[in-house]
Amino acid sequence: MRTEHLEDTSGGLSRAAALLREGALVAFPTETVYGLGADATSDHAVARIFEAKGRPRFNPLIAHVPDLETAKRLVEWPDTADRLAQAFWPGPLTLVLPLRAGHGLSPLVTAGLETVGLRLPGHPLARRLLAEAGRPVAAPSANPSGRISPTTAAHVLAGLDGRIEAVLDGGACPVGLESTIVGIDGTRAVLLREGGLPDHAIESCLGHPLAAREGDALTAPGQLASHYAPGAAMRLEAEAWRPGELRLGFGEVESDMNLSRSGDLVEAAANLFGHLHRLDAMQGEVIAVSPVPDTGLGRAINDRLRRAAAPRDG
Ligand code: TXA
Ligand code: MG
C-alpha cells in the first residue's frame, strides 16, 4: 500500500475525511501526538488499527469527537464530566465514562468494556477533520506498538509508511505528550494516566484531589485477567467439537459462528467481540473456539480469548 502524504489544505482535509468514512486508516495531528485514526463505528476499520500498529493486545482506544453534543450522545454525562469538559475541552484531556445504550461504537474501541475514553482535541486541523468525517474517530498514537509516540508526520511515516492509507500533515504537535486520562465514576474522578494536562489544573477545577488509581475496574481494564468473560465456560484451541458445545470457528470448519472462513485475521478481529456476545446470548455451557494462528493480529485475538477463558473470581 502506498501511504498518501496529505497537506493542510482543503483538498488534503477532504481527502483525509473521505478516507476515514471509507474505513481507511489516516494518521492526523492532535495537539498532543499524531493519532492513527479509524472510523470508531466500524469493526473492520478499528481492527486494522491493531494490525497496523502490531499491537499484541486489544487495549481500549480513545474515541475522538468533534463537539460536546457528540460526546453526550455516546456516554452518560455526570456533573463532574461537564465541569471538566467546560474547563479543558478542546484540549489534552480524555474522560472515561459509562457508555449509553445505542452508542454505535465498535466493541473493539472499548475492548468490550462498558466505558469509553472520549477526547475533544484542541488542534484546529483535528477538529476540522472530525467535523468533516462526521463520526467518532478511534485513534491511539500513530506509532508501531512499543515505539515512541510521533509528533511529526515524518515520525509517523518512519514507523507506518506502507501500512496505512494516509497521513495528514499538520506540522509538529505543540504539546508532545499524550492526553491526561481521568475516569469518572459517579462523582469520583480518578487519574488513570498522567499526560499533557497537569493534574493540579484538574484538581483546582474540581476543588478536591483526584482519587488515586487502585485495583478497581476503571484502573487498567486490559490488564485484568478476565475483564471480558462470557457467562459460558470457554474451551480454546478446539481441534474437534464436542457434543453440546457452542462452536466458534476459524477457517473452513462447520461452526455456529465463524470468525473468518477465509482465515483472514483482520476479519476475525473485527468479528471477535460481536460473535462472543452472540454466542453467549445462546446461553450454552461451553463455547469452544478453533485454533487461531498466533501471528500478527492473531496474537491480540488469542490474548483476548485467553482472558475470556481465564478463571473468574466472581
Ligand atoms: O493524546 C492522546 O491521548 C493520544 C492522541 C492520539 O489523542 N492518544 C493516545 O491513545 O494516547 P492510546 O491508545 O495510545 O492510549 C489510550 C489509553 C490506553 O492506555 C487505555 O488503556 C486508556 O487510554 N483507555 C482507553 N479507554 C479506556 C477505558 N474505557 N478505561 C480505562 N482506560 C482506557
Ligand atoms: Mg500510545
Give the mean model confidence (pLDDT) for residues 279-293.
95
Contact at 8 Å (CB) between 9 and 19? no
Minimum mean pLDDT range among 3-12, 129-138, 305-314: 305-314
Ligand 1 centroid to Cα of residue 300, in Å, is 17
Beta strands in the chain (DSSP E): 4-6, 26-28, 35-39, 62-64, 93-98, 115-119, 137-138, 166-168, 180-185, 188-193, 233-235, 246-249, 257-258, 286-289
Contact at 8 Å (CB) between 222 and 110? no
HSE value, Cβ hemisphere, 13 Å, CA-based, for 182:
27
Residue with more model confidence, 312 or 253:
253
Give the residue whose CA is nearest to atom 6 of ligand 1. Answer: 35
Amino acid sitting at position 18: A
Give CA separation, 205 vs 84, 200, 224, in Å.
Answer: 7, 9, 31
Amino acid sitting at position 85: A
Ligand 1 proximity of 107 Cβ (cutoff 6 Å)? no
How many Å apart are CA 8 and CA 199, to the nearest integer? 32
Minimum mean pLDDT range among 15-19, 134-138, 168-172, 229-233: 229-233
Give CA separation, 265 vs 205, 255, 269, in Å.
Answer: 45, 17, 6
Residue-wise pLDDT tens digits, 190-208: 999 989 999 999 999 999 9
Contact at 8 Å (CB) between 123 and 232? no
Give the residue whose CA is nearest to atom 9 of ligand 1. Answer: 140
Question: Which pLDDT score, from 0 to 100, does residue 226 have?
Answer: 44
Ligand 1 proximity of 260 Cβ (cutoff 6 Å)? no
Which ligand number lies closest to the CA of residue 149? 2
Residue 244: partners with Cβ closer than 8 Å, 6 or more residues away: 284, 285, 286
Between helices 79-88 and 199-206, what is the axis angle to 10°? 130
pLDDT reading at 222 higher than 50: no
Residue for grid cell 469452544: 288
Ligand 1 proximity of 182 Cβ (cutoff 6 Å)? no
Asked whether the bond before 230 is cis by omega within 30 degrees of 0, the reply is: no
Please choose, from the candidates 206, 208, 176, the residue with its C-alpha nearest in 3D space to the C-alpha of residue 31.
Answer: 176
Burial group, residue 286, by CB count within 10 angstroms (0-12, 13-18, 19+) = middle
**Dihedrals phi, psi of 226, to nearest 5 degrees:** -125, 50
Ligand 1 proximity of 116 Cβ (cutoff 6 Å)? yes
Question: Which pLDDT score, from 0 to 100, does residue 56 have?
Answer: 87
Between helices 124-133 and 10-21, what is the axis angle to 10°? 50
Which ligand number lies closest to the CA of residue 218? 1
The residue whose CB lies within 8 Å of the most ligand 1 atoms, and thus the one to mutate among 100, 118, 181, is 181
- Computed over every residue of the chain, the mean pLDDT equals 92
Ligand 2 centroid to Cα of residue 61, in Å, is 9
The residue whose CB lies within 8 Å of the most ligand 1 atoms, and thus the one to mutate among 61, 108, 164, 216, is 61
Give the mean model confidence (pLDDT) for residues 116-133.
98
Structure confidence at residue 83 as a pLDDT band (50, 70, 90): very high
